[in-house]
A and B are shown apart, each in its own frame.
Chain A
Amino acid sequence: MLRKFIREPLVHFLGGALLIFAFFWATGSNRDPAEYAISIDETDIERLKTGWVQNFRRAPTQAELDALIDQEIAEEIYYREALRLGLDKNDPVIRRRLFTKMRFVDGEESAIAEPTDALLQQWMDENPGKYALPSLYDFEQIYLGQISAADARDRINQLNGGALPSAFAQPLSRPSALARASSAEIGRQFGDRFAEQLEKLEPGTWSGPVISGYGAHAVKISAKVPGQKAALEDVRQRVVNDWRAARQAEQEEETLSRYRAQYEIKVAGRP
């Protein structure tokens, strides 16, 4: 029983702490006086007074102020003693609170400056996909209905052989032709699945079937204007929003990496 008790880590910890305490007590040395100095200066007193005024709508009396100061001192003493006893350790609430505060303090230091046009342009160049003006299509489509791909292919072959669209077209209140339509506009009309398939189609001929949620379509692209880079002026607000959001995330990551570099981190199962 006793042997088991002696093996308990907590017992080791408390035993160690007692030894250290005993050493300082016995020698009266090795004690940093600054850790035991408490000074309440004018700024602190002003802060206490202001807090009081906000709460009570009047200045504190001298007695009240003294009580506030004593309370402040008592709190500070208990706070430091608690730290010395390690009461802040392994307390998830305190940990999360400090995490939040630290995040805030770091965020405060690195307030995001106004982006210059050069910075925005650079950001756009680094994210070409995000601000590219989309490809535009001129195309016709014939709705073939909810039929099998084989049947649809057969009808598309006939269309290319000269059959009239009216021979196969099923009614659907979607446009039979769109001009200079972006994939977003096409997606609104026919669904994103349909829009995505246009990229691969060869222009100038009836092709498909292009499948949408409605069913099968025959599609003939007559012209495709490839996507271009947008000018900053066309998309400025969006670029500023995105740049700012990204900058903020980046800064948090940067700060964390700066700290993290000082730590040796091992995670079970992680290389």
Chain B
Amino acid sequence: MRNSLMVAACTAALVLSGCSKIVEGEDGNAEVMNTEYPEQVFWGDTHLHTDNSIDAFGFGNRLDAENALRFARGEEVTATKGSKAKLSRPLDFLVIADHSDAMGATKAIMEAPRIALLTDEFLLRWHDMMNESDEGSLRVTGELIDGAAKGTLPTSLTDPEETKERTANLWTKHGKTVDQYNEPGKFTAFMGFEYTPMPDGDNLHRVVMFRDGPKKMGDTIPYGALGSQDPEKLWGYMEAYEKKTGGKVLAIPHNSNVSNGRMFAMSKFDGSPIDAAYVKTRALREPIVEVTQIKGDSEAHPFLSPNDEFADFGVAGWDKCNLSCTKDMPPESYGGSYAREALKRGLELTLAIGANPFKFGMIGSTDSHTSLATADENNFFGKHSGNEANNKTRALDPQNLGTREGRFGWHYLASGYAAVWATSNTREAIFDAMMRREVYATTGPRMQVRFFGGFDFTADDIADLVKTGYAKGVPMGGDLSGGDGEAPKFLISALMDPESASLDRIQVIKGWVDATGKSQEKIYNVSWSDADARKLGANGKLSPVPNTVDLAKGTWDNATGAPELVTFWQDPDFDSDQNAFYYVRVLEIPTPTWPVYDALKFSLTLPDSVIKIQQERAYSSPIWYTPTA
């Protein structure tokens, strides 16, 4: 009964809101030339929420997909709380990834005529709370997240059959908007959604993105976690989509940091052991992982990597409890929560099963719920509309997504973006680059990172690194095998973001499986600024780059770092019988965090506990070495 009422209410609300007539979008048939090899890096956000996400709307977001797209393209828009918002530089692509579960529902509940909800106490209460005040709306959203974590949401929000019609209507309208803003060669707008399983509050979320436009997608609608929380079911949906339409789709796991060890677990969702079929499907469906975003950074953790002095980035506030903070996360669970450890597990599973389920590239994205894809410290619009740039106390306010204490505003990062080396700025080229993992993550700055591996490089090849890289080796995301026992060689370059900070260093992070079958890791400093003065210690560690941050002004001195670092590197500890991966981490010199800019703007005094200085960074996708059998 409640179900059908919900549909009625939502249909009414949709009729009310979906009134403007929309021109049929053009099919992206403009002639776009693909370059011979990926010459350009394209910048984007694969994880943005608009007012169609139940929590984003509940948090107060009133900007729709069109506003999100205009903003990403570089237009100025007015943020929900009234301030003008504009990116210093436009993005090249955007995936709007609204939650598939109960898509558009909060908007519908709030906008529904009250009389339509009178017989449903539950929804009526939410309707009234949302209409009453912003605080009421936030309370509803808290209850929603909590309810989703505990599985106590009313069936009117959770029954996929009941919500199908509403979702289909909304999805069609959304597809038209996305197509209208997709301009092949200039700006790419992708169709996508977020699959949001949260068993007991453990984060198993995936962003799902399509290579295709709404025409090919036909009547395909987003798959909800209310259908099933088991990612294998999502992969089944993806396979069915590809079979039916001839299209292509991929999934991007994210926020493994709050998955309580479950994102990269050594078992299937139901606890049974991983088998060959699971490995194959996972590797096919999930070629990339989002390792850095507003809700923390999932690359590494000091508990897992005690010898890595940079492993603590974006960890504070996020390693104590799971997404909804309904469960504490013991350090023993971290292995399944952090990407570097997952890459190592992948090697171990390769030996055990013969294939690697965790063979993924790495990207960043925002997961912003404001419709504004901002990842710059000095232009950060926050996680949700309650914390946009106008909110004076957002850096210090408690910010619990669930019901318990634990997190404060400053724990949230102004992070990150996805960098994609592609042959053109089109759906096809960017998607295909993601499939071959020729992508990298940054915490916001747009540094350009190149990483090639091969057996035939020489030190002289850095002179024409890109051409030689493609001619004689493989780019990031690729595979190496053979080499006749010789250690692989790498060509690496990092160019600073000309609008951000100069570079401290390039590191190569190697993971391998030793003779006992146990995975290991090691970090090599391979290139750094001021190389005349800064030397490697006996332990391989490098003296830190000077900190030039002036907290009173929010400035730093780029002369301390290098504009560009380029190097040739060969693995000095190579054993040709051992499976291994290599990825690159590029560190900027120290810069202020976003709370520092807030403090300057609003004359706040930040307590000592607040992290004020950080080294922003990029993570390349790995190159894997597999011994020839």
Q: Assess whether A241 is in contact with B180, with CB atoms less than 8 Å apart.
A: yes
Return the chain A residue nearest B501 by Cβ: A213
CA distance A30 to B292 in the complex (A): 71
CB distance from B38 to the nearest CB of A (A): 14
CA distance A173 to B566 in the complex (A): 9
CB distance from A187 to the nearest CB of B (A): 7
CA distance A188 to B563 in the complex (A): 15
Q: Does B500 contact A (CB under 8 A)?
A: yes
Q: Assess whether B7 is in contact with A172, with CB atoms less than 8 Å apart.
A: no
Chain B contact patch, size range: 35 or more
Q: Assess whether B20 is in contact with A111, with CB atoms less than 8 Å apart.
A: yes
Q: Does A96 contact B (CB under 8 A)?
A: yes
Q: Assess whether A172 is in contact with B66, with CB atoms less than 8 Å apart.
A: no
> Which residues from A are CB-within-8-Å of B180?
237, 240-241
Q: Assess whether A93 is in contact with B132, with CB atoms less than 8 Å apart.
A: yes
Q: Assess whether B131 is in contact with A213, with CB atoms less than 8 Å apart.
A: no
Return the chain B residue nearest A72 by Cβ: B115
Return the chain A residue nearest B560 by Cβ: A146
CB distance from A100 to the nearest CB of B (A): 8
CA distance A192 to B111 in the complex (A): 43
- Pick the residue among A174, A212, A215, A245 that contacts B70 (CB under 8 A): A245
Q: Assess whether A172 is in contact with B563, with CB atoms less than 8 Å apart.
A: yes
CA distance A214 to B563 in the complex (A): 5
Q: Does B200 contact A (CB under 8 A)?
A: no
Q: Assess whether B499 is in contact with A245, with CB atoms less than 8 Å apart.
A: no
> Which residues from A are CB-within-8-Å of B550?
none
B15-54: which have CB < 8 Å to A? Answer: 16-17, 19-21, 23, 25-26, 40
- Pick the residue among A107, A190, A193 that contacts B19 (CB under 8 A): A107
B485-512: which have CB < 8 Å to A? Answer: 493, 495-500
Stretch of A36-44, A52-60, A157-165 contacting B (4+ beta carbons < 8 Å):
A52-60
Q: Assess whether A173 is in contact with B495, with CB atoms less than 8 Å apart.
A: yes
Q: Assess whether B499 is in contact with A171, with CB atoms less than 8 Å apart.
A: no
- Pick the residue among B20, B119, B493 that contacts A248 (CB under 8 A): B20
Q: Assess whether B499 is in contact with A54, with CB atoms less than 8 Å apart.
A: no
- A-B interface contact total, Cβ < 8 Å: 87
> Which residues from A are CB-within-8-Å of B558?
146, 213
CB distance from B29 to the nearest CB of A (A): 12
Q: Does A238 contact B (CB under 8 A)?
A: yes
Supposing A213-B558, A245-B70 touch, asked if A93 and B131 sit within 8 A by C-beta, the answer is yes
- Pick the residue among B26, B116, B181, B566 that contacts A51 (CB under 8 A): B116
> Which residues from A are CB-within-8-Å of B19?
104, 107-108, 111
Q: Does B243 contact A (CB under 8 A)?
A: no
Q: Does B234 contact A (CB under 8 A)?
A: no
CA distance A245 to B181 in the complex (A): 12
Q: Is the interface of A mostly helix, strand, loop or mixed?
A: helix
CA distance A248 to B64 in the complex (A): 14
Which residue of A172, A174, A191 has the most chain B CB atoms within 10 A of its CB atom? A191
CB distance from A96 to the nearest CB of B (A): 7
Supposing A93-B132, A111-B20 touch, asked if A54 and B8 sit within 8 A by C-beta, the answer is yes
Q: Does B1 contact A (CB under 8 A)?
A: yes
Q: Does B4 contact A (CB under 8 A)?
A: yes
Q: Assess whether B181 is in contact with A241, with CB atoms less than 8 Å apart.
A: yes
Q: Assess whether A112 is in contact with B20, with CB atoms less than 8 Å apart.
A: yes
> Which residues from A are CB-within-8-Å of B498?
190-191, 193-194, 212-214
CA distance A143 to B322 in the complex (A): 49
Q: Assess whether B563 is in contact with A54, with CB atoms less than 8 Å apart.
A: no
A150-194: which have CB < 8 Å to B? Answer: 171-174, 187-188, 190-194
CA distance A213 to B556 in the complex (A): 13
- Pick the residue among B1, B111, B448, B563 that contacts A146 (CB under 8 A): B563
> Which residues from A are CB-within-8-Å of B8?
51, 54-55
> Which residues from B are CB-within-8-Å of A215?
563
- Pick the residue among A96, A104, A174, A245 that contacts B66 (CB under 8 A): A245
Q: Assess whether A146 is in contact with B559, with CB atoms less than 8 Å apart.
A: yes
Q: Assess whether A104 is in contact with B16, with CB atoms less than 8 Å apart.
A: yes
Q: Does A97 contact B (CB under 8 A)?
A: yes
Q: Does B341 contact A (CB under 8 A)?
A: no
> Which residues from B are CB-within-8-Å of A107?
19-20
Which residue of A55, A191, A192, A245 has the most chain B CB atoms within 10 A of its CB atom? A55
Q: Does B5 contact A (CB under 8 A)?
A: yes
Q: Assess whether A173 is in contact with B116, with CB atoms less than 8 Å apart.
A: no
Q: Does B553 contact A (CB under 8 A)?
A: no
CA distance A237 to B4 in the complex (A): 39
CB distance from B87 to the nearest CB of A (A): 11
CA distance A146 to B181 in the complex (A): 40
CA distance A169 to B80 in the complex (A): 48
A183-224: which have CB < 8 Å to B? Answer: 187-188, 190-194, 212-215
CA distance A187 to B498 in the complex (A): 9
Q: Assess whether A55 is in contact with B5, with CB atoms less than 8 Å apart.
A: yes
CA distance A123 to B63 in the complex (A): 25
Supposing A171-B566, A213-B499 touch, asked if A240 and B7 sit within 8 A by C-beta, the answer is no
CA distance A245 to B495 in the complex (A): 38
Identify the 6 closest CB pairs spanning chains A and B, nearest first.
A213-B498, A191-B498, A54-B8, A214-B563, A55-B5, A212-B498
Q: List 19 A-B contacts (CB under 8 A).
A: A51-B116, A54-B5, A55-B4, A56-B4, A97-B131, A112-B20, A146-B558, A171-B564, A192-B88, A193-B499, A213-B496, A213-B500, A213-B563, A214-B496, A214-B564, A237-B26, A241-B180, A241-B181, A248-B20
Q: A108-B19, A194-B498, A237-B26 are in contact. List 5 more A-B contacts (CB 8 A).
A: A104-B19, A114-B21, A173-B495, A213-B496, A237-B25
